[in-house]
Amino acid sequence: MVAPVDPNDRVVIGITFGNSNSSIAYTVDDKAEVIANEDGDRQIPTVLSYVDGDEYYGAQAKAFLVRNPSNTIAYFRDFLGKDFKSIDPTHCHAAAHPKDVSGHVSFTVKDKPQGEDDEEVELSTVSIDDAATRYLRRLVTSASDYLGKTVTSTVITVPTNFTDKQREALTKAANAAGLEVLQLVSEPVAAVLAYDARKEAVISDKIVVVADLGGTRSDVTVVASRGGMYTILATVHDYDFAGVHLDNALMDHFAKEFIKKHEVDPRSNARSLAKLRLESEATKKALSLGTNAQFSVESLADGFDFSSTINRIRYEMVARKVFEGFNRLVESAVKKAELDVLDVDEVIMCGGTSHTPRVANNLANIFPETTTVLAPATSAVAINPSELQARGAALQASLIQEYEAADIEQSTHAAVTTVKHITNAIGVVTVGADGETFTPVMQAETAVPARRTIHVAAPKNGGDVLIKVVEGGTHIKVTKAEPKPEQNGDDDDSDFDSEEEDEETREKLWKIGSPLAEAAVKGVKAGAASKVEVTINVLGDLSVTITAREVGGKGGVRGTITA
Ligand code: ATP
Ligand code: MG
């Protein structure tokens, strides 16, 4: 255990520690920057490799998956704090295999130097916790070298389905690497923080979907952001649609081409398979930027070199099933939150796979035009999806670094996920020429305690103004477009017309729910400018206080409804 560091002596960074990649970030002048390690990488592969007693990490270690797989530890983050029985070792197939050491996940690797007399090097057992510590130590060394001072403390991001045991294991592993862990923040919230921290950001009440599409897993989270408080409404975790599945699609594509030419399957031996995988991933990344990409491997199998090209359209065809999977995931998360796509104000795309233009465009298509999809392909102001979480972690670290460790624990414990919130919107009903209208004052899912104020225009003639405060719900109104009248002599495009007839317009409408209170504000001045101010205050026990008064006037009414 690392002793709490004096707040004045802290040097803090944010860390994202993924199964595929990790990143380190720090803040300078309230802006978060992701640090490039000594290899120049900002996305640092979460891989360790041992060659003749030397430890390699990151991109160098990942390259050893071809020549030295059995001494290369990869894709291990999710194993932290888990029993051997409950892990899925699929992705370690072409790397050091996880072993069962009394129920605990371990790896056996040759991490000692070769002796003089050429004896076989002894195998060492490296527990999952040790592997995490060794890797985190490399990240921290890198950050310390970059910053020119020793990093003492950190905020690390974790998936929302990390158990307490996993969080504990991660904290311990970081402590063993000499790091004080100020806080573990959930990955999607870190992504939201990175966007909300921008100078130009307007912190409004909004529903945000965070689509974190990584290498071995995809996590979709629906977050209600209410006055700077974040409530997680639903999460979906998936291990069948992620970056490696896109790699697989390309691997199959190029393997088939290779077989046609040389009658040998590069997937049938481990080393060829590893080469095929690495190059397929590189080609995939190139296709996020360009519409054409090269695939080229020396001595891919049986001594044959292989090079080919692929264009984006072809890629999108061979990987179509995976792309469709991403859409279904996001749709299922929205549904799980009992919301409609029309309720979603913003989609934040993060994780490396979010660079893929087709993935972002497909998602943009399932949401209405009013929903902002923040990804490089769909928005000019998108932040690099691979950097979002590290930036969020760094921002959070710089926010809380001045507090004593004990205070941080108290004030920030689980603040994000378990706060109480109101189920229905609360708003004001006003009566006008078109009947009653509902104006929301406080959105559904607002974390409590909370307070909101609106101004309602008073009737022109003044007098007593009746304010009805009610709960509001929404419903989706579907309108079928009117069939177009036949156009004479122009039947050529009748096919198109019939398609349009099926088109539906869907809009979100407010529904007036159960009444909470009525208040009469007496003797409001006449005049177009006269207004009534309504303040709704919901306390932690969900009791509601409503205050209504004339703007600029004296007095007013006030009432409390118990929960
Ligand atoms: P996980 O924990 O899911 O394994 P991670 O969170 O550690 O993943 P990320 O860096 O978010 O990792 O995602 C890695 C995935 O993103 C890899 O499959 C990688 O190939 C892919 N990726 C990275 N950059 C790009 C890009 N420019 N275009 C397409 N895919 C990319
Ligand atoms: Mg991730």
Q: ipTM score here?
A: 0.99
Ligand closest in space to the Cα of 43 = 1
283 lines ligand 1 (CB under 6 A): no
| Ligand 1 atom nearest to CA at 187 | 6
Tens digit of each residue's pLDDT (9 = 90 or more) over 310-325: 999 999 999 999 999 9
Tens digit of each residue's pLDDT (9 = 90 or more) over 196-209: 988 888 778 899 99
Tens digit of each residue's pLDDT (9 = 90 or more) over 246-287: 999 999 999 999 999 999 999 999 999 999 999 999 999 999
How far does the centroid of ligand 1 lie from the alpha carbon of residue 29, in Å? 29
- Whether 432 has a pLDDT exceeding 80, the answer reads no
Residue 482 has phi, psi (to 5 degrees) of -65, 140
Rounded Cα distance, 364 and 506, in Å: 16
186 lines ligand 1 (CB under 6 A): no
Ligand closest in space to the Cα of 157 = 2
Would the pTM of this model clear 0.80, i.e. be above it?
A: yes
User: HSE (CB half, 13 Å, CA atoms) of 280?
Assistant: 25
- Strands 54-57 and 218-226, by their bridges, are unpaired
62 lines ligand 1 (CB under 6 A): no
Instruction: Find the Cα–Cα–Cα–Cα dihedral 26, 27, 33, 39, rounded to 10°.
Output: -30
pLDDT mean over 397-423: 70
81 lines ligand 1 (CB under 6 A): no
What is the 8-class DSSP label of residue 122?
P
- Whether 288 has a pLDDT exceeding 60, the answer reads yes
Side chain identity at residue 206, one-letter code:
K
Ligand closest in space to the Cα of 387 = 1
Q: Are 233 and 239 in contact (CB under 8 A)?
A: no
| Ligand 1 atom nearest to CA at 78 | 2
Helix axes 320-336, 357-366, angle to 10 degrees: 40
Of residues 442 and 180, the one with the higher pLDDT is: 180
- Whether 417 has a pLDDT exceeding 50, the answer reads no
- Closest protein CA for atom 15 of ligand 1: 215
| Least-confidence region, from 51-55, 291-295, 332-336, 556-560 | 556-560
Q: Are 433 and 218 in contact (CB under 8 A)?
A: no
157 lines ligand 1 (CB under 6 A): no
Q: Which two structure tokens, joined as six digits, stand for 518?
A: 């009525």
- Whether 496 has a pLDDT exceeding 50, the answer reads no
Determine the pLDDT at residue 433. 64
**CA angle, corner 198, sides to 193 and 204, nearest 5?**
70
Tens digit of each residue's pLDDT (9 = 90 or more) over 238-247: 999 999 999 9
Side chain identity at residue 513, one-letter code:
G
Give percent above pLDDT 90 in the chain: 65
Ligand 1 pocket test: pick from 16, 17, 19, 20 the residue with the most ligand atoms within 8 Å of its Cβ.
Answer: 20
285 lines ligand 1 (CB under 6 A): yes
215 lines ligand 1 (CB under 6 A): yes
How far does the centroid of ligand 1 lie from the alpha carbon of residue 257, in Å? 25
